[in-house]
Structure 1
Amino acid sequence: MGSGVSSGKLGQAVARSVGGLPRQFWWLWIGTLVNRLGAFVATFLALYLTVERGYSASYAGLVGALYGLGGVVSSIGAGVLTDRIGRRPTLLVAQVSTAVSVASLSLVTHPVAIAAVAGLVGMATNASRPAVQAMMADIVRPEDRVRAFSLNYWAINLGFAVSSTSAGFIAQYSYHLLFFGEAAMVLATALITFWKLSESRPQSAAPEPGLRPSGGEADISMWKVLRDTRFMVVVALNLLLATLIQQAFVSLPIAMGQQGLTSTDFGTVIAVNGVLIVLLQLPLTRFIEHRDPAKLLIVSALLTGYGFGLNAFAGGSAAFYAVAVVVWTLGEMINSPTQMGLVVRLSPTHGRGRYQGMYTLSWSVANLGAPLLGGIVIDRFGSTALWAASAAVGTLAALGYALLLRTMRNDAAEELAAGRPQPMSPAPDREPTG
């Protein structure tokens, strides 16, 4: 009897997590999962260059920087294309370009050619993100968006966990198999896009409930995005938190190594991040999806900043580092779907591609700058200073979210008092009933 009740509750929980979303969302979700399952090259590019090709660590770092720079460039370009030619064409161009450039990277041998193609790979790989996020916002109802973004985030991390593990075994046999394997998986994603996804770009300029009106597609330019103060504050705050999260993959292993911990210790500690996201992201989303996003964003910033700040007290204990990972991972899991919902609500309907491109740019800049920044701080002041600064940055981001969302509430109250509807309330989105 008890097992039957437990099974029933589990079934209800699953239904609440995945039910009610449109079929096109699930094809988009499957495409994301397949793509991430084959995301081998970015993880093992440095090893490929130094172990397989015999290049220096500095050259591998240069190639990695060019890969990141390609992502920075494509964030804006892909956002513009997403609005101009549509979500589906942008996705197809990005996916086919990724497959071709990844396969080419395994064939070129000249160092200049490798560096150039790596930049193209970074550009093509990142180009699909604004289109995916804009399409998701187009096809999912406002009240389901936090859940949808959370499911997509979960698929990204599940795919990354599997691909990182399997890539290590594949690389033992052939690095070329890694490159062509990723190319094949991306082509499979392109086929899903071609056969199962239809264009979702809104044809009417009429805004949906709870969102900012666009004023027509012709009015949405990158200059208008840059002048959108509230949105650019969100981008800046995300840049702060993204810079913190990227320290986990460069500064954290350096600090652990300086304290005598091994690469195995680091692998075990950082695995906690992926395991928590895979196990807890969906139930956590059920808990947060209809709660006040202002409080959630403030809490997420504090958890992220203080989670990294805890590293200052680890004292060479892998177990303590693992506890710190738990804290900042909880912040990451709360922030990602909540902030994506805020980004969509701040984005004019016909400017979603450009707005998503600018938001994606904050991640690309963090990927490019965080390793350099963390290395400089550790070299000059030590890892303890870096972790203390991380706590300060988390506090600053929390204050930024509090001020931003209080301003949005005040603006909403003034609009309502003047008899004008204000779509920018930070309360959870709701569509009218009836």
Structure 2
Amino acid sequence: MRGVGSWFRETTGGLPRAFWYLWAGTLINRLGSFVLIFLAIYLTQARDFSAAQAGLVIGLWGVGGAVGTTVGGTLADRWGRRPTLLTAHLGAATMMLALGFARPLWAVAAGALLLGTFAEAARPTFGAMMIDVVPERDRLRAFSLNYWAINLGFACAAVLAGLAAEAGYLLLFVVDAATTLVAALIVFVRVGETRRTPATGPARQPAGGPPRAGALRTIAADRVFLGLVVLNLLGALVFLQHISMLPIAMGDAGLSPATYGAVIALNGVLIVAGQLFIPRLIRGRSRSHVLALAAVVMGVGFGLTAFADAAWFFGLAVLIWTLGEMLNSPSHATLIAELSPAELRGRYQGVFSLSWQLAGAIAPVLGGLVREHAGNATLWLGCAGLGVVTALGHLLSGPARERRASLLRGSAAPVTDIAPPVPQAAEAAVTVPPAPAPARTPG
């Protein structure tokens, strides 16, 4: 029992109070994230839209998300984290209800576009707030805890959404909107503005960083960061096949949608059971090596799908690529935090999130084309090959990333490619100052 208590304190102790409020908001929001899980089924079964029309609606959600991550990151830096996050949550809740009541295709499409914009605008803002409030030494376990909450919410939401759908699909939209509003209320009441760098005036040039000539030009000139974004895009093209092509492959094997739901639930269950042990597992190890290993493991897991013909085999493949996902997420999160200049954190988070939105739009189309013209086995073996390519990219670019992170930290210590250790729990909590009055316009 003493060992369990020590592990629990190392994992959760000493994190700022503001982090736990953000963490609670994440968990509550994800517990009600019903709509996206069942949107395709809702559109085709409850609304009698064709598969092509449903694809258009979901694609517009992705387009809105791409806009939202870009705008949200910019506003987080210029307007402030707190007002941007509150606006994103309130807008998402409003559009969630609007989408639930929409009937014509054009109204559903417009609702999905705007919902994607508001919902994804919160992502870079939330990431910037997490970096603001959590000290660098604690970020690995903080991001692991947040990722654990996301997947606990996802696992529960998948079950709860199925029950809610039996009572009526409108209930999915109402509950999703309500939990989004609760998350907004937590931020409004308990979390102050976290952005400490002035939004105006000349930006300071950090050592080793790209020249400051405007935010977008700064990011465009940051080849080290953009290299990481491209590698994440490649990995996301593989990972997101579990949403689009995996259910089709399982259907071709004679398995029911319910079986797919049970198999994919293994992803959330394994993350909930094991994610909190990941910081100790990767502590003191090369981040580029961890990311390379994660890419290979995910590639192997998806590659095995080419040979799967039974539920247990598909389940085994899911468990394997989930292990890679568990290694990938906290390592990426801490690295992005260190590569983001303080005054541009929101926009850096936005560009990184944009890689996920692009993958969300490209992955189903690319996967469908490969599967249709080259066959199911080619698709999944191609995923394995892309995982290996991504791993090689991490190994080759890792040293440059660590040099940049060290220079941005202003550290005089020798540059290493080693993830910082997780410290023993500290006793004091970090207090976030009260929020200043937000500007009347985002400009």
TM, length-normalised to structure 1? 0.90
Q: Are 1:319 and 2:312 counterparts?
A: yes
Using a 3 Å threshold, how does the CA distance of structure 1 residues 135 and 402 change in structure 2: closer, same or farther? same
C-alpha distance in 2, partners of 1:216/1:198?
A: 31
* Matching residue's letter, 1:371: P
C-alpha distance in 1, partners of 2:74/2:300?
A: 36
Q: Provide the secondary structure at the position in 2 that maps to 1:250.
A: helix
Q: Provide the secondary structure at the position in 2 that maps to 1:261.
A: coil
Match of 2:288 in 1: 294
Contact 1:131 1:353 in 2 (8 A): yes
C-alpha distance in 2, partners of 1:402/1:372?
A: 29
State the Cα distance separating 1:204 from its structure 2 match.
6.5
Match of 1:400 among 393, 402, 407: 393
State the Cα distance separating 1:101 from its structure 2 match.
0.7
Q: Are 1:38 and 2:29 counterparts?
A: no
Identity %: 45
The Cα offsets for residues 182-234 of structure 1, whole Å up to 9 and x where unpaired, read as 111111111111000111112369xxxxx966989975512211221010010
Q: Provide the secondary structure at the position in 1 that maps to 2:240.
A: helix
Match of 2:235 in 1: 241
Q: Are 1:260 and 2:254 counterparts?
A: yes
Match of 2:223 among 229, 232, 245: 229
Match of 1:376 in 2: 369
C-alpha distance in 2, partners of 1:155/1:228?
A: 32
Contact 1:220 1:350 in 2 (8 A): no
The Cα offsets for residues 147-197 of structure 1, whole Å up to 9 and x where unpaired, read as 111111111111111111111111111211211111111111111110001
The Cα offsets for residues 262-289 of structure 1, whole Å up to 9 and x where unpaired, read as 3233222212111110100001222213
Using a 3 Å threshold, how does the CA distance of structure 1 residues 173 and 409 change in structure 2: closer, same or farther? closer
C-alpha distance in 2, partners of 1:54/1:95?
A: 29
Contact 1:293 1:426 in 2 (8 A): yes
Match of 2:428 in 1: none
- Counting only pairs closer than 5 Å after superposition, residues 130-279 of structure 1 correspond to structure 2 as 130-203=124-197, 219-279=213-273
C-alpha distance in 2, partners of 1:297/1:218?
A: 29
State the Cα distance separating 1:424 from its structure 2 match.
7.1
For CA contacts below 8 A with separation 6 or more, give which structure has more relative contact order: 2
State the Cα distance separating 1:420 from its structure 2 match.
9.0
* Matching residue's letter, 2:419: P
State the Cα distance separating 1:51 from its structure 2 match.
2.1
C-alpha distance in 1, partners of 2:54/2:184?
A: 29
* Matching residue's letter, 1:428: A
Contact 1:297 1:401 in 2 (8 A): yes
* Matching residue's letter, 1:257: G
The Cα offsets for residues 58-111 of structure 1, whole Å up to 9 and x where unpaired, read as 211111111111001111111100100111111000000011111111222222
Contact 1:408 1:425 in 2 (8 A): no
State the Cα distance separating 1:14 from its structure 2 match.
1.4
Contact 1:303 1:330 in 2 (8 A): yes
Q: Are 1:385 and 2:378 counterparts?
A: yes
C-alpha distance in 2, partners of 1:139/1:311?
A: 41
Contact 1:95 1:187 in 2 (8 A): yes
State the Cα distance separating 1:354 from its structure 2 match.
0.5
C-alpha distance in 2, partners of 1:59/1:121?
A: 17
Using a 3 Å threshold, how does the CA distance of structure 1 residues 155 and 220 change in structure 2: closer, same or farther? farther
Contact 2:292 2:395 in 1 (8 A): yes
Contact 2:403 2:415 in 1 (8 A): no
Match of 1:111 in 2: 105
Q: Are 1:85 and 2:79 counterparts?
A: yes
Q: Are 1:329 and 2:322 counterparts?
A: yes
Q: CA RMSD in A?
A: 2.6
Using a 3 Å threshold, how does the CA distance of structure 1 residues 19 and 249 change in structure 2: closer, same or farther? same
Number of residue pairs the alignment of both structures matches = 416
Q: Are 1:426 and 2:420 counterparts?
A: no
- Counting only pairs closer than 5 Å after superposition, residues 3-18 of structure 1 correspond to structure 2 as 7-18=1-12
Larger displacement relative to structure 2 (32-41 or 44-53): 44-53
Structure 2: which 5+ residue stretches go unaligned?
Answer: 200-204, 424-443
TM, length-normalised to structure 2? 0.88
Q: Provide the secondary structure at the position in 2 that maps to 1:106.
A: helix
Q: Provide the secondary structure at the position in 1 that maps to 2:69.
A: helix
Using a 3 Å threshold, how does the CA distance of structure 1 residues 173 and 282 change in structure 2: closer, same or farther? same
State the Cα distance separating 1:53 from its structure 2 match.
2.1
Larger displacement relative to structure 2 (283-292 or 74-83): 283-292
Contact 1:296 1:335 in 2 (8 A): yes
Structure 1: which 5+ residue stretches go unaligned?
Answer: 1-6, 206-210
Match of 2:332 in 1: 339
C-alpha distance in 2, partners of 1:15/1:379?
A: 51
Contact 2:86 2:187 in 1 (8 A): yes
Contact 2:283 2:422 in 1 (8 A): no
